[in-house]
Amino acid sequence: MIQIQPLSRCTWEESLALWNEAFSGYFVDVSMTMEAFVRKWSRESLSPDHSLVAVAEGKLVGLVCSGIRTVNGKKMAWNGGTAVVPAWRGKGVGRKLMEETMALYEREGVELATLEAIAGNQAAIRLYERLGYRIVDRLSYYQSTEPLRMIEAEPSMHRIERVVPGQIATLPFYSAEVPWQGQWFCLRDGEAWVLADGRGGVLGYALGRREFDERGRLCKTVLYQVETAPGLINEQACFLSLLEAAWGPALDMCERIVANWPSAKHMGAEIFNRLGMKTTIEQVWMMNELGAKKRSVSGGNF
């Protein structure tokens, strides 16, 4: 018999071992060290009390990691990883886990549940759709380890200011309609930049993280959001100014990543392609409106 219990009853060592075994053979390698695993829970606002594990024959055989937070007045839940160990896949463990997860969301008053799923995982996507989720957009990871191609644009006369990510959420055009990991509260240890005009108005912002080597040189950047204020005449020039602030000069050697860029944001996708970046992972972004009394399931290895 499969039993479901809170992940908070497990030790960190048990949880990490379960994660690595359950995600073995996944579409991409998401195995982690203990340091990276603990950091994931903190950065992504995941909650052990709102996450579940499946137990069968005295062993941990599956898990679903969840975070719950109020965003723009709406209580939202995010599935940060659902998977089942290889020996128990295809036996209903994933469905059982998610039925219990959705019941937990409803008890917590969640209005909107979201997840991302690898676009090639069609069997899982069909299951999510059958149980209430709908695809709202496609998401792309872009990557480059080489100097970027230059794009000609009108020079910007505006100034870049560095701020803390939480300040971005106060902007009238802050986009909360982005995947969970790109929200400001998942980037509290990240960085933020704003483009300001001479009158103190904000024309755009960028959110990301940067890593430096032992000599203090920039070696990796991950970009999560770039937004410009509505109605800008020189929108592309502003966008490129924010990219340079987050990434450094285009000709510098550095690993640059754009995480979960929505296809609906056409200008950004076009710019990344023109810069010579390559798409490495494609996902679908899915939502389930629990207020409409829909039932759902979330994804990973089943």
Q: How confident is the model over 20-59, as pLDDT tens digits?
A: 999 999 999 999 999 999 999 999 999 999 999 999 999 9
Choice among 86-95, 230-239, 285-294 with the minimum mean pLDDT: 285-294
Evaluated on CA atoms 13, 15, 18, 20, the torsion sign reads negative
Mean of pLDDT values over 156-163 = 85
Based on the domain organization, do 64 and 172 belong to the same domain? Answer: no
Does residue 129 belong to any structural domain of this protein? no
Report residue 120: phi and psi, to 5°.
-80, -10
Convert the pLDDT of each residue in 131-151 to its tens digit: 788 999 999 999 999 888 877
pLDDT of residue 155: 61
CA 153 to chain centre: 30
Longest Cα separation, the chain: 67
Based on the domain organization, do 159 and 262 belong to the same domain? Answer: yes
pLDDT of residue 153: 60
Spatial contact of 301 and 22, defined as CB atoms under 8 Å apart: yes
pLDDT at 297 over 60: no
Does residue 133 belong to any structural domain of this protein? no
Determine the straight-line distance between the first and last CA of the chain, rounded to whole angstroms.
17
Q: How many CB atoms lie within 10 A of CB 177?
A: 12
The CATH number for 98's domain is 3.40.630.30
Query: Cα–Cα distance between 156 and 124 in angstroms, integer?
Result: 45
Share of the chain above pLDDT 90, in %: 74
Does residue 241 belong to any structural domain of this protein? yes
Strand partners, 55: 3, 60
pLDDT of residue 84: 94
Share of the chain above pLDDT 70, in %: 95
Query: Cα–Cα distance between 101 and 279 in angstroms, integer?
Result: 32
Domain span at residue 47 reads 3-120+287-301
Based on the domain organization, do 8 and 44 belong to the same domain? Answer: yes
Based on the domain organization, do 154 and 115 belong to the same domain? Answer: no
Residue type, 144: S
Does residue 135 belong to any structural domain of this protein? no
Based on the domain organization, do 103 and 165 belong to the same domain? Answer: no
Query: Cα–Cα distance between 288 and 283 in angstroms, integer?
Result: 16
How many structural domains is the chain composed of?
A: 2
- The whole-model pTM stands at 0.88
3-state secondary structure the chain: CCEEEEHHHCCHHHHHHHHHHHCCCCCCCCCCCHHHHHHHHHHCCCCHHHCEEEEECCEEEEEEEEEEEEECCEEEEEEEEEEECHHHCCCCHHHHHHHHHHHHHHHCCCCEEEEEEECCCHHHHHHHHHCCCEEEEEEEEEEECCCCCCCCCCCCCCEEEEECHHHHCCCCCCCCCCCHHHCHHHCCCCEEEEEECCCCCEEEEEEEEEEECCCCCEEEEEEEEEEECCCCCCHHHHHHHHHHHHHCCCCCCCEEEEEEEECCCHHHHHHHHHCCCEEEEEEEEEEEEHHHCCCCCCCEEC
Based on the domain organization, do 227 and 249 belong to the same domain? Answer: yes
Based on the domain organization, do 65 and 162 belong to the same domain? Answer: no
pLDDT of residue 214: 92
pLDDT of residue 147: 86
pLDDT at 80 over 60: yes
Based on the domain organization, do 293 and 257 belong to the same domain? Answer: no
Q: How confident is the model at residue 293 (pLDDT cuts 50, 70, 90)?
A: low
Mean of pLDDT values over 196-212 = 91
Based on the domain organization, do 242 and 172 belong to the same domain? Answer: yes
Does residue 142 belong to any structural domain of this protein? no
Based on the domain organization, do 112 and 192 belong to the same domain? Answer: no
- Determine how β-strand 59-71 pairs with β-strand 74-84: antiparallel
Does residue 143 belong to any structural domain of this protein? no
Does residue 93 belong to any structural domain of this protein? yes
Based on the domain organization, do 155 and 241 belong to the same domain? Answer: yes
More confident position, 129 or 50? 50
pLDDT at 251 over 80: no
Based on the domain organization, do 115 and 23 belong to the same domain? Answer: yes
Q: What is the mean pLDDT of the chain?
A: 91
pLDDT at 204 over 80: yes
Does residue 161 belong to any structural domain of this protein? yes
pLDDT of residue 292: 62
